Amino acid sequence: MFTLTIRAESELLVVVSRESRIDSLTKSEVVDLFMGRYVNFPNGDKAKVFDLAPKSKLKGLFYERLVNRTEAQIDAYWARLLFSGRNFPPKETESPGQLIHELMSSSHAIGYISSQDLTDSLKVVYRFEAL
């Protein structure tokens, strides 16, 4: 019972600024943005994708839930793309607080947070299903 409470309190959310023209995304669209397949939102607006710092618990959980890959596998994926010159990984932030600041500073920014960090200045565009 205690485990269920923790999961409910720390739901994983993909968020944008309240000013963003994006209201919702599918999981496929989130994958495309965070894995560098697309650089624009579905409406054509340029996307600025933000990630959390390496080895953060939330980052590992995000990529596990998003594409069923470990952080090491994600790093190897981006290393191949960087080497080929095809794309760049999401910009890393040092903390959820810095990520939220970046999201609030641009209507084109997108990132992920725990539901406990959600503020009124952010809009949820994708919510991971509960385990």
**Of 89, 80, 72, 83, nearest to 36 (Cα)?**
89
Give dist(CA 118, CA 100) in Å, integer: 9
> Which pLDDT score is estimated for 12?
95
Higher pLDDT pick, 130 / 38: 38
pLDDT-based confidence at residue 9 (cuts at 50, 70, 90): low
Arithmetic mean of pLDDT over the chain = 90
> Mean pLDDT over residues 58-79, rounded?
95
**CA-CA distances (angstroms) from residue 29 to 14, 38, 61, 105?**
11, 9, 18, 22
In percent, the amount of the chain with pLDDT more than 70 equals 92
Q: Enter the tokens of residue 122.
A: 């952010």
> Mean pLDDT over residues 29-41, rounded?
96
